[in-house]
Structure 1
Amino acid sequence: MATPRPDTPSLAAEPPESGPEQARRLTGQPVGRLFVGLYVLAIVGVWVALLTPASVTLALRIADLDPAGKASSLALVTGVGAIFAMVSNPVFGRLSDLCTSRWGRRRPFMVGGVACGVVSLVVIGIAPSIPVVLLGWCLTQVALNAAVAALIAVLPDRVPEHRRGTVSGLMGMTNQVAQVAGTFLVQFTGTRGLGMFVVPAVIGLVLVLAFACYLKEVPKTRAELPRLSWASFPRSLWINPLRHRDFAWAFLSRFLVWVGKSLLLTYKTYFLMDHLGYSSARAAAVLGWTMLILGIGVVVASNVAGWLSDLVRRRKVFIIAASLLFGTGMVVIATSSTLTGFLVGVAIAGIGQGTYVGVDYALVASVLPDRETGAAKGMGVFNIANALPQTVAPAIAPLFLAIGGGHNYAALYLSAAGFAIVGAIVAQLIRGVR
């Protein structure tokens, strides 16, 4: 056997081609401004379709059908729907990873998910009873979270590492933009009839279709993907936290900070009424300004943090700073006895939240297990850290409120600060990202 010359380049020594680099080579499609713009608008579209009913129109529909028991009916519908959302995200993410459609792995789930979401929202709009609303909302959560799973996976699939902070920053503001857009849409569609459900959903479908038509994907073959049976499919959703510690720490950090966020958002109205002594009408007026301040903080901070993290090529420091900022905002609220103090705390918390969401998708995309073949599953599992705190926060809040005889909002928001600070400590344990 001939001995290779010392100056002969070794193929084994070449750095492996990353997923985004390979996708660009195979599709010939760079990730430029048009790509990013359509991508972010598609995410906004899905959130408009999902968050408009979640925050406004679902409650209105339930109030029409069950005026006397609307509070308990809404809790039932949203609680069961949240379970379907948590399960469907990783499940459809995994199905997207394994898809061999001629249209690619992501596009069928993006378009199909939103199209099915339109139909399920029509079911809610024409529902004659609360059980039918429950069915429609569960189908909506499944369909639109299938689209979310496929869309979020485009970040690790296609966006190069050096641009992920900027794109993550844009993704971080999509929830706030969608909530504001949804509020204005309801004013346009009215608060009765099919329009308040169908119009946001159709807008979402149009925006997703625009991106899906632009996106170029090379179909995967069976030989390129893991072989799974239906029996082994549930087991394939598991990500071992001991084997993939960086992913586990990222998940836990997001979960802890989001528990604090859920405590703020869930109990802000009662804080104004019970702690500051506002009437329900006055509290409702103040909440409009509260959400505006929070939204501005999130939108500005997410974009600035994402851009800066690309510039300095650091992710972890922003996550740690964001967690501490959010915790500081919670401390300000906990110790405030005036509306000014409350709004200052909300502003600080908004900057912290925005900084966090501006970077965390970029961070987790770098520590995903099996990101070449399982990116959507991994991102879907990570998204459970968004949904689970919405169930955990209301369950644990009464424990803190009961300290000292009840209505102890100082203890509640100090605990929220504690969750955020522990989230910052946990983020320091991530080793695979700077």
Structure 2
Amino acid sequence: MSAPAPNAAPAAAADTESSPERSARLTGQRVGGVFTVLYILAIIGVWIALLTPASVTLSLRIADLDPEGKTSSLALVAGVGAIFAMVANPVFGHFSDRCTSRWGRRRPFVVIGTLVGGASLFVIGTAPSIPVVLVGWCLTQIAMNAAMAALIAILPDRVPEERRGTVSGLMGMTNQVATVSGTFLIATTGTQGLGMFIVPAAIGLVLVVVFALYLKEVPRGKAEVPPRTWLDIPRSLWINPLRHRDFAWAFVSRFLVWTGKALLLTYKTYFLMDHLGYSSDRAASILSWAMLVLAIGVVLGSNVSGWLSDRLQRRKVFIAVASVLFGIGMGVIAVSSTLTGFIAGIAVAGLGQGVYVGVDYALVVSVLPDSETEAAKGMGLFNIANALPQSVAPAIAPLFLAIGGGSNYAVLYISAAGFALLGAIAVMFIKGAR
């Protein structure tokens, strides 16, 4: 993975170049089909390594170690891990922005982060107690989010504006593809032993290394980056919302829409059991199909919206339409008293979610503060808008459910629709993007 020497260029020309243009000139590598495929596969690889334990195997491991207190132990491990994830993404994104390694700014964090994350999953798989699992999961979240922060920053670093919608659309489906892939992997590895942790981590590492070997980066000289201080860490967690209003509105929009999504996903099982009257076994069977419907909607919506937004060179309208679609899906679920209505709402919500994730990365890149020098930090902070709703939604949901005497799922999902519609309104305040 040796880096090519930079080519000379007039300073005046360099001053007018975008980051993708400069990278293409210095490395001789442009974003084409092979680059895009390997890039998307690398993102899927990191998600497989992280989401497979997050959604399935971590809970199984905790149940083995603490069968009586598994619910509270899982809440502790997952909750503390989520905090580390939110902090690690922008902090390591900032370190990646300032990296002067001979391997480039992004490759060391992508490869080492995935490798350390895999080793941390090994710790979980062999842990003798819940405290060791907690340490292992926190290390996994730190390492994998360091890798993801550097990977996501490659979008503003390398992808030209006219292709960002298409690539953003592909990025938008990676989470769902990884989740489904992880489910099939567990069916192959089984739910006992190290395999359910190591196999997803190994697949992620292979996909990441293949992309890292293909990626060309030019090292930055130490004179090109500001001196490092301990204040860099708190600074990496802050972008002034008053100075950078467009970025702030993009963050608020995603936070609101993702809060609505979290309300749906967190309480979908209880909705089927308490509101529609299904047994736990039947609800689990229904949800497997419902999540497949959701995934199809996400994949379809993200790819179509990303491609079309490039053709039209517009992003905001797709975000607004997506938020409205998601809100409609939540509204359908709120008034539903049948399984058909629930599945129909899931389908519409999945399509709306897909349209949103197909464009929102491309949108935020266009309003990213200091994108030439601090892209990973900015994208890392933006990703907090994904993670924070996972903590906020369970905290506020009981307030909506309690209205009218309790178990008021209609109010819960109408509220979720309201969050999504507010997200559509928020994006309209962005001035620096079309």
TM-score under structure 2 normalisation?
0.96
2:241 is aligned to 241
Separation (CA, whole Å) in 2 of partners of 1:111 and 1:162: 28
Separation (CA, whole Å) in 2 of partners of 1:427 and 1:414: 20
- Report deviation, 1:321: 0.3
2:152 is aligned to 152
Q: Which secondary structure state, in structure 1, belongs to the residue aligned with residue 371 of structure 2?
A: coil
- Report deviation, 1:227: 2.8
1:6 is aligned to none
**Alignment deviations for residues 178-204 of structure 1 (CA, whole Å, 9 cap, x no partner):** 011100100111101100000000100
1:346 is aligned to 346
Separation (CA, whole Å) in 1 of partners of 2:334 and 2:390: 20
Q: Does 1:406 align with 2:406?
A: yes
- Report deviation, 1:12: 7.1
Structure 1 residue runs of 4 or more that deviate by more than 6 Å after TM superposition: 11-15
Separation (CA, whole Å) in 1 of partners of 2:124 and 2:236: 33
1:396 is aligned to 396
Separation (CA, whole Å) in 2 of partners of 1:91 and 1:314: 31
1:261 is aligned to 261
Structure 1's 336 and 321: CA in aligned 2 closer, same or farther, altered over 3 A? same
Q: Which secondary structure state, in structure 2, belongs to the residue aligned with residue 405 of structure 1?
A: coil
2:418 is aligned to 418
- Report deviation, 1:177: 0.5
**Alignment deviations for residues 318-346 of structure 1 (CA, whole Å, 9 cap, x no partner):** 00000000000000000000000010000
Q: Which secondary structure state, in structure 2, belongs to the residue aligned with residue 29 of structure 1?
A: coil
Structure 1's 131 and 13: CA in aligned 2 closer, same or farther, altered over 3 A? closer
- Report deviation, 1:231: 3.2
Q: Which secondary structure state, in structure 1, belongs to the residue aligned with residue 132 of structure 2?
A: helix
Separation (CA, whole Å) in 1 of partners of 2:77 and 2:235: 29
Separation (CA, whole Å) in 2 of partners of 1:385 and 1:55: 19
Structure 1's 99 and 404: CA in aligned 2 closer, same or farther, altered over 3 A? same
- Report deviation, 1:238: 1.4
**Alignment deviations for residues 192-235 of structure 1 (CA, whole Å, 9 cap, x no partner):** 11000000001000000000000000001122223331234422
1:141 is aligned with what amino acid? Answer: Q
2:119 is aligned to 119
Q: Does 1:87 align with 2:87?
A: yes
2:25 is aligned to 25
1:5 is aligned to none
Instruction: Point out where structure 2 has 5 or more consecutive residues left out of the alignment.
Output: 1-10
Q: Which secondary structure state, in structure 1, belongs to the residue aligned with residue 373 of structure 2?
A: coil
Q: Is 2:91–2:236's contact at 8 Å kept on the other side of the alignment?
A: no
Q: Is 2:62–2:74's contact at 8 Å kept on the other side of the alignment?
A: yes
Q: Does 1:275 align with 2:248?
A: no
Separation (CA, whole Å) in 2 of partners of 1:126 and 1:40: 31
1:199 is aligned with what amino acid? Answer: V
1:432 is aligned to 432
Structure 1's 14 and 181: CA in aligned 2 closer, same or farther, altered over 3 A? closer
Separation (CA, whole Å) in 2 of partners of 1:366 and 1:187: 41
**Alignment deviations for residues 121-148 of structure 1 (CA, whole Å, 9 cap, x no partner):** 0000000011111110000000000000
Q: Superposition pairs for residues 140-289 of structure 1, below 5 Å?
A: 140-289=140-289
TM-score under structure 1 normalisation?
0.96
2:293 is aligned to 293
Separation (CA, whole Å) in 2 of partners of 1:213 and 1:267: 42
Q: Is 2:14–2:22's contact at 8 Å kept on the other side of the alignment?
A: no
1:246 is aligned with what amino acid? Answer: D
2:135 is aligned with what amino acid? Answer: L
Q: Superposition pairs for residues 29-108 of structure 1, below 5 Å?
A: 29-108=29-108
- Report deviation, 1:44: 0.2
Q: Which secondary structure state, in structure 2, belongs to the residue aligned with residue 153 of structure 1?
A: helix
2:43 is aligned with what amino acid? Answer: I
Instruction: Point out where structure 1 has 5 or more consecutive residues left out of the alignment.
Output: 1-10
Counting matched residue pairs gives 424
Measured on the aligned residues, the alpha-carbon RMSD in Å equals 1.2
Separation (CA, whole Å) in 2 of partners of 1:106 and 1:14: 21
2:323 is aligned with what amino acid? Answer: S
Separation (CA, whole Å) in 1 of partners of 2:429 and 2:321: 14
Structure 1's 236 and 297: CA in aligned 2 closer, same or farther, altered over 3 A? closer
1:8 is aligned to none
Q: Which secondary structure state, in structure 2, belongs to the residue aligned with residue 173 of structure 1?
A: helix
Q: Is 2:236–2:377's contact at 8 Å kept on the other side of the alignment?
A: no
